[in-house]
Structure 1
């Protein structure tokens, strides 16, 4: 008798949990459906009960971050006022996230002055070429594989004892961005000799 009572209580408990889940799901879904968007790709959201419009002088900053090097580049910096199509449009944080999420951006930070959205990108290089760059603070020769990824062929020979920070500013920038490209490793070594002189 006690076993039947426990089984009955367990079944009732499962049923109640299921009911609560479905009620919560439908209430949450109806809130999302209440957003009124005039056109696809428009930044305007008109349901002020859901979220307050952003201040016109708040800046939106879009950044791209190279996954390999960690370098970031600002792709866009505009005020909310500059983004509006019509003067009466209301732009919210959610509408910005929704539009730029499709382009691969994610919310990074929000402050009183700016909203920063970041997109991670992977820089690819011309396959089979040699590039000068930086490895742990030293000048190094990298080779690009068939997918455009850089690697060091020989750690003993291809990492030069010259520190990048000891070079002139222009050379440091070129090395940090892997902008010096060569067909052969010998050409890369010749360029290193020229940099060091």
Structure 2
């Protein structure tokens, strides 16, 4: 009789232990599944390195056929920006894509998704740091412009204005994809030590402009 009681007590304890272990395993698996589901849309905008997080809900939105894609550059710490270039969503090949797809497409140039609505998509990035005191090619409102970097390699003053800006009248979308990419990245091939080297260099991009010395 005593053995039966001990057996029953042991069986009850075993059941309790089994239930407790199973409960905690199930709870932890549930947390993991939730995290995976949430990270589907948050993975590209988590603030792990102090980067600015924009509208996370926009990552789920789709691009409309008639929308325009605006590529922007932040100019100062107050949030001022310029429109670097723009293109129709259909021409850019992004109609129907979600915000998270856009971040993946343009992350090589440092763009983050800022917003999406029926009329426009805003992608924004931090400014490039150039070599100090160089003449550089960049883009503003689709026009290739010339600027002069300061001693710190910035082409923006404290108010967010482009330093020593000169327009060329050339549309950036008329260039080859590689040249457009180099302008966006601030490649060394788009930086010149003197006006003379600048004037020689821009001839390679079929820019019909000569900056006065």
Which bracket does the TM-score occupy, shorter chain normalised? 0.3 to 0.5
Using the size of structure 1 for normalisation, the TM-score is 0.41
More strand by share: 1
Normalising by structure 2, we get a TM-score of 0.39
1 or 2, which has the higher helix percentage?
A: 2
